[in-house]
Amino acid sequence: MSRRLPSLNALRAFEAGARHLSFTRAAQELHVTQTAISHQVRQLEEELGFQLFLRSTRRLELTPEGQRLAPVLTLALDRIGEAVAALRARKRDNHLRVSMAPAFGAKWLVGRLSRFWLAHPEVELELHHSPVLADFATDDVDLAVRYGRGPWTGLTSELLFRLEKVPVCSPRLLEGDHPLHRPEDLAHHVLLHESDHGFWLQWAASVGLEEVDVRRGPLIDDVSVLTQLAINGEGVALGSPWLLAEDLEAGRLVMPFAQQLEHPEGYHLVYPPGALEQPAARLFRDWLLAEVSGEGQD
């Protein structure tokens, strides 16, 4: 059926003006100027061939034609708004934005995501990787995985795992002229440092390693690069068994010593109040905690 309808903008301008009986308040509602509202209503009247308002210096009044048209337009626009809101809510229910540190995504999450997609194909998952903490008030993020001690003010924080540190290296370094059998053997190998010497100094102190200078070796500010250097046999790194589980299971890395450095910081799932009312957020949160506990790996 062919519909001969006036401009939607003109109809919206008239409907707002009719509800408020004021072009000024209609302009404020629609975020345009009063002149724009007046112009659009005048165009509508010219197209229809009759007046919709009786104008005076102090007030607006609807003509009989305006009184007939206004409630029909209000009802129609309300129904359009309700339908659009329902569609947006449905999409929002299925759409999920998660922010996380790059190392967590690359070294722990990436090998497990296929299980989430298979279990919940209806969820439109959007992952954002950044070393900067997400701001729930401005970044349009539903959930976040943060590294630190926690908790964070005003947010719910659920610990996923702490990052104990243990020496890791290529299995090739267990052989050769200076095989790694005891912590003292580190004197013959390059030590790979994550941003500063702090972790190696703490680990050495925890195992009583005094005769080896653990300040030797390059500083690397990217955990993925540091891990790859260790896999390539370029040196010994301190890594987390949680993040390096796949590399350890595949034999790309080994732990030459069992001594671990207990570390108070770790990865936490963080979200604002009410976040889990969104079905997709609840599904992802429950799946993530099950993966951490091992329940999702069967």
Q: Compute the distance between CA of residue 275 and CA of residue 191 in angstroms, rounded to an integer.
A: 43
**What are the CA-CA distances from residue 225 to residues 47, 123, 215, 229, 236 (Å)?**
67, 31, 19, 6, 13
Q: Rounded mean pLDDT of the chain?
A: 88
Q: What average pLDDT score do residues 263-272 get? A: 89
Q: 166-250 in CATH: which number?
A: 3.40.190.10
Mean pLDDT of 29-49: 91
User: Looking at per-residue confidence, does 262 or 160 come out higher?
Assistant: 160
- Locate the domains of the chain by residue range: 93-163+265-297, 166-250
Query: In sequence order, what are the beta bridge partners of 166?
Result: 239
Torsion angle defined by CA atoms of residues 241, 244, 245 and 248, in that order, rounded to the nearest 10 degrees: -100
Gyration radius from the chain CA atoms? 31
- Per-residue pLDDT, averaged over 117-144, amounts to 87
- Across 54-70, average pLDDT: 90
Give the pLDDT mean for 225-236.
94
Select 93-163+265-297's CATH number: 3.40.640.10, 3.30.420.40, 3.40.1390.10, 3.40.190.10: 3.40.190.10
Is the pLDDT at 200 greater than 70? The verdict is yes
Query: For the chain, what's the residue count?
Result: 298
Domains 93-163+265-297 and 166-250 share a fold: yes
Which residues does residue 144 pair with via DSSP β-bridges, in sequence order?
A: 99, 270
Model confidence at 253, in pLDDT bands (50, 70, 90)?
A: very high
The confidence score (pLDDT) of residue 91 equals 52
pTM for this predicted structure: 0.59
Q: What angle in degrees, to the nearest 10, is found between the helix axes of 64-94 and 279-293?
A: 10
pLDDT digits (tens, 9 = 90+) for 153-164: 889 999 998 888
